[in-house]
Chain A
Amino acid sequence: DVKVTQSSRYLVKRTGEKVFLECVQDMDHENMFWYRQDPGLGLRLIYFSYDVKMKEKGDIPEGYSVSREKKERFSLILESASTNQTSMYLCASSFENTEAFFGQGTRLTVV
């Protein structure tokens, strides 16, 4: 079974903190994604990566950066967390042109 693991289920951080959300997949997928999920807005793509060290901006990249140093790991970084980044963050991975597999999500609260 494909496994996509996010390092935390719940996080509470203070405004201005630097926050790292980690995601690891064990299926050698080329593609990895970070989405945020907000009520009524569905899933919005923040960034995705199609290879090691390669990244592309999604629909809402502002306030975020990413890192993909190894194929299995994709990190989402909030350089200076703000309250409007309180959300559910979902990581996913896929092969080329196949369905995406999701992690269990990280609920981040910024206070």
Chain B
Amino acid sequence: GEDVEQSLFLSVREGDSSVINCTYTDSSSTYLYWYKQEPGAGLQLLTYIFSNMDMKQDQRLTVLLNKKDKHLSLRIADTQTGDSAIYFCADREEYGNKLVFGAGTILRVKS
């Protein structure tokens, strides 16, 4: 089946950029998503990218997609303490309704 992998932990200083990486195996992915989960809360959609795009920018967030290497990244510029959360990468299969999630990357921002 499809697989989505992420590193489990990232620690950065406030004001630095954070880069969270994700790899996936499904070559027929249509959309790839980044979700954020704050402590005690459900998942909140941060951004997404369509599979025929290389990059998407949304304020402090930049998503890069390398479809050949099946690699997705989320860059957060000027990281703030409020960005501390778990970030999930998710992949939507081409002909289904299911999202396949990675294990989540814990982002810790040190002030």
Interface residues of A (CB under 8 A from B): 4, 31, 33, 35, 40-45, 48, 50, 58-59, 90, 92, 94, 96-97, 99-105
Contacts and interface: CB of A to CB of B under 8 A. Distances in A.
Contacts, number: 54
Contact of A97 (B40, B92, B103): B92
Given A99-B31, A99-B33, A101-B45, A43 B101 contact: yes
Interface string B82-111: 000000100010000111111110000000
* Main DSSP-derived SS at the A contact region: strand
Contact of A99 (B8, B45, B98, B100): B45
Nearest to B4: A42
Measured as residues with beta carbon below 8 angstroms from the partner, the interface class of chain B is 20 to 34
A70 to B, nearest CB: 19
B42 A45 contact: no
Contacts of B31: 97, 99
Given A42-B104, A99-B31, A90 B97 contact: no
A97 B30 contact: yes
A31 B104 CA distance: 23
Contacts of A102: 35, 42-44
A42 B97 contact: no
A96 B97 CA distance: 6
Contact of B97 (A59, A94, A104, A105): A94
B42 A58 contact: no
